[in-house]
Amino acid sequence: MQINDKSGVKTYLPNASRYNTMKYNRCGKSGVLIPAISLGLWHNFGFVDNLQNGRDIVRCAFDLGITHFDLANNYGPPFGSAEENFGTILKKDFKPYRDELFIASKAGYDMWPGPYGNLGSRKYLMASIDQSLQRMGLDYVDIFYHHRPDPDTPLEETMVALADIVRQGKALYVGISNYEPKETAMASKILKELKVPFILHQARYSIFDRWVEDGLLNTLETEGVGCIAFSPLAQGMLTNKYVNGIPEGSRAAKDQTYLAKSDVEQNIDRIKVLAAIADKRGQKLSQMAIAWLLNQPNVTSVLVGASSPKQLEENVGALAKLEFSDEELKLIRANS
Ligand SMILES: NC(=O)c1ccc[n+]([C@@H]2O[C@H](COP(=O)([O-])OP(=O)(O)OC[C@H]3O[C@@H](n4cnc5c(N)ncnc54)[C@H](OP(=O)(O)O)[C@@H]3O)[C@@H](O)[C@H]2O)c1
């Protein structure tokens, strides 16, 4: 929602009923709740993108009850620009609402040149959190993640760095991402000893990519840690977008690095069957893909991306029908 004040300045006023329909789930055994659907800013928020469109997406998210926004040091392009743009949006529209937001950042992938801008050393994480806070204009993030395991840095070094970031007041909670079950259990043990709230594991999970069912979800259950599922729509393949070909401007058409046209072509038969199942349920494929994830045990939130407010509205519509018949689940499994 937007209003004009007397001088004609456009001010964002959030939807007064924003908390009425969204569901909020507890992160593991912690005290904190996040929305069943969260917004990720990996794509569509860099300096290469249209800032006003990004601003409209964030406003739309908050109006729909989405309080959790996921960033990382390297989101853009260029690296860092999604955080900088998000900082601009926060400053312009969300200053009065900081305590209603749960903001994430991460470090772990290649960020700056030389030996200190990548992976999992204390040196890298300590510098990266300061840079992220500066770019976003924040005093603290709500959760700071180690973005991926580092095979060479001792796990203890990385976990102690996360703990110290919390102790310095730069993050309230910590998380990890892309860790295998065994490493996750080890990280959890260290963080428990350090009495640091480890509340979320961010893992790739969708109808098309079910690796987390092979041990990770069980480990998280045992450790009392939630799972936030990223790329839930398989980067757009689990939507109605590609059913009739590859549209111009879509991720598969413009960004071959992450989603190649050939990925869509290889999956198109399954996509069509799944879209038909969703249609029978009275849903879009995106909505069914999100609802399916929210039915999996220990999935705290589904972390979607969106290139327009309209996509996000459609995705949040998933909450209108979350239940599945056994027959539907069987058909989905057969096409997963
Ligand atoms: N921890 C990690 O290593 C990691 C890795 C990847 C992502 N993530 C996080 O997860 C978030 C989501 O990842 P993702 O962007 O891959 O998620 P996704 O939700 O699987 O894909 C999002 C893309 O799908 C398309 N889309 C979304 N809703 C649609 C709809 N209703 N109809 C048609 N198309 C739709 C849009 O692409 P178009 O541009 O084609 O419109 C959108 O940008 C990221 O932003 C990031 O925060 C984390």
**How far, in Å, from the CA of 169 to the mean position of ligand 1?**
30
Are residues 145 and 184 in contact, defined by beta-carbon separation less than 8 angstroms?
Answer: no
DSSP state of 94: I
pLDDT the model gives residue 71: 98
42 phi and psi angles, rounded to 5 deg: -60, -50
SS3 289: helix
Whether residue 9 has pLDDT greater than 80 = no
- Give the three-state DSSP class for 159: helix
pLDDT of 7 over the 90 cut: no
Distance, in Å, from the CA atom of 25 to the CA atom of 44, rounded to the nearest integer, reads 26
pTM: 0.97
Instruction: Give me the chain's average pLDDT, please.
Output: 96
Please report the pLDDT score of residue 2 as a whole number.
61
Task: Tell me how far the alpha carbon of residue 305 lies from the centroid of ligand 1, in angstroms.
Answer: 3
| 284 CA closest ligand 1 atom index | 31
DSSP helix/strand/coil, 258: coil
Name which residue sits closest to atom 4 of ligand 1, judged by CA. 230
Q: Crossing angle, helix 122-136 and helix 81-89, to 10 degrees? A: 40
Report the nearest atom of ligand 1 relative to the CA of 247: 40
Q: Is the dihedral of CA 18, 23, 27, 29 positive or negative?
A: positive
Q: What is the mean pLDDT of residues 150-163?
A: 98
- Count of C-beta atoms within a 10 Å radius of residue 117: 20
Tell me the pLDDT band of 10, cut-offs 50, 70 and 90.
Answer: confident
Query: In total, how many domains does the chain have?
Result: 1
| Residue range of the domain that includes 29 | 2-334
What are the tens digits of pLDDT across the range 22-64? 999 999 999 999 999 999 999 999 999 999 999 999 999 999 9
Please give the number of the atom of ligand 1 that sits closest to the Cα of 230. Answer: 10
Lowest mean per-residue pLDDT among 252-261, 263-272, 317-326: 252-261
Q: How confident is the model at residue 254 (pLDDT cuts 50, 70, 90)?
A: confident
- pLDDT score recorded for residue 8: 56
pLDDT in the model for residue 22: 98
Q: How far is the CA of 160 from the centre of ligand 1 (A)?
A: 31
Ligand 1 pocket test: pick from 304, 312, 316 the residue with the most ligand atoms within 8 Å of its Cβ: 304
pLDDT (0 to 100) of residue 153: 98
Structure tokens at 262: 């050939």
Name, in order, each residue with C-beta under 8 angstroms of 72's C-beta and a sequence gap of 6 or more.
42, 82, 105, 106, 107, 109, 145, 147
For ligand 1, atom 22, name the residue with the nearest CA.
305
State yes or no: pLDDT of 5 exceeds 60: no
Query: Where does ligand 1 bind, in terms of residues with CB under 6 Å?
Result: 40-44, 70, 147, 177-178, 202, 230-236, 239, 241, 250-251, 286, 303-307, 311, 314-315
What is the average per-residue pLDDT within 299-305? Answer: 98
In this structure, what CATH number is given to the domain that contains residue 281? Answer: 3.20.20.100
Q: Whose CA is nearest to atom 31 of ligand 1?
A: 311
pLDDT tens by residue, 191-242? 999 999 999 999 999 999 999 999 999 999 999 999 999 999 999 999 999 9
Q: Show the tokens assigned to 258.
A: 């992450």
Beta strands in 123-258 (DSSP E): 141-146, 171-177, 198-204, 226-230
